[in-house]
Chains A and B, each alone.
Chain A
Amino acid sequence: QLQLQESGPGLVKPSETLSLTCSVSGGSISNSNYYWGWIRQSPGKGLEWIGSVHFSGNAYYNPSLKSRVTISADTPKNQFSLRLSSLTAADTAVYYCARRDSSGNNNWFDPWGQGTLVTVSS
């Protein structure tokens, strides 16, 4: 059974860069049928898709965050990562990693990791 697990700091200072990792077990991120991505959830903005990466390195980002986001895949470790720079309090949220089908418009997310709360505060 495919499982995803987020890891990273729970508290980050404003203006700093957030780095989160999603470890995948029970399947390979090198499977060409899928993208691997990040979604966040905050009380103010609800669920927000951040972006997704294919093991080939092809990545798509939400234009609202594109200037600050990098998502990359580490196939030997079977992990993928999120970097979000220039943090503000508005980036405080629960961050989820999730798998997305890469075929056609089958752009739904399943499964999801359990989520990790990131608070941006000095």
Chain B
Amino acid sequence: DIQMTQSPSSVSASVGDRVTITCRASQVISTWLAWYQQKPGKAPKLLIYAVSSLQRGVPSRFSGSGSGTEFTLTINSLQPEDLATYYCQQANSFPFTFGPGTKVDIK
């Protein structure tokens, strides 16, 4: 199985700050990576797919980059509604696996 790791495990930032989350895969996954946002008590929601493509309706302050084994999710100008846990997922091969999550808090 491809193992996914994320750092940091949690981050606390102020409204307007830029937040960067890193996801690493244990093997090369090319650009087959997605990011999800999970708000408290809710199901995960697809934010970004294929590393950098924004899902319809996702604000443009979210962006993704990377390739191979290292990927980044960036939230530009953090907003109060961005309080959530963010997960990466490799879509390269079975079984599909997720990172452990990064919790984003608002200071």
Q: Is the CB of A60 within 8 A of B94?
A: yes
Complex Cα–Cα for A105 and B100 (A): 22
Interface residue from B42, B46, B94, B97 paired with A108 (Cβ < 8 Å) = B46
A15 within 8 A of B: no
Q: Which of A20-28, A70-78, A82-90, A109-117 participates in binding chain B? A: A109-117
Q: Is the CB of B43 within 8 A of A108?
A: no
Interface residue from A64, A106, A112, A115 paired with B45 (Cβ < 8 Å) = A112
Complex Cα–Cα for A108 and B98 (A): 11
B101 within 8 A of A: yes
Per-residue interface assignment for chain A, residues 51 to 93, with 1 indicating a CB less than 8 Å from any chain B CB and 0 otherwise? 0000000001011100000000000000000000000000000
B87 within 8 A of A: yes
Interface residue from B36, B44, B91 paired with A107 (Cβ < 8 Å) = B91
B49 within 8 A of A: yes
Most chain B CB neighbours (cut-off 10 Å) among A47, A63, A111: A47
Q: Is the CB of A108 within 8 A of B100?
A: no
A34 within 8 A of B: no
CB distance from B52 to the nearest CB of A (A): 13
Could you tell me which residues of chain A, from 7 to 34, have a CB within 8 Å of some CB in chain B?
Answer: none
CB distance from A36 to the nearest CB of B (A): 14
CB distance from A14 to the nearest CB of B (A): 25
Seed contacts A47-B98, A49-B95, A63-B1; 11 additional CB < 8 Å A-B pairs: A47-B101, A48-B98, A60-B94, A105-B91, A108-B34, A108-B49, A108-B91, A109-B89, A110-B46, A110-B55, A111-B45
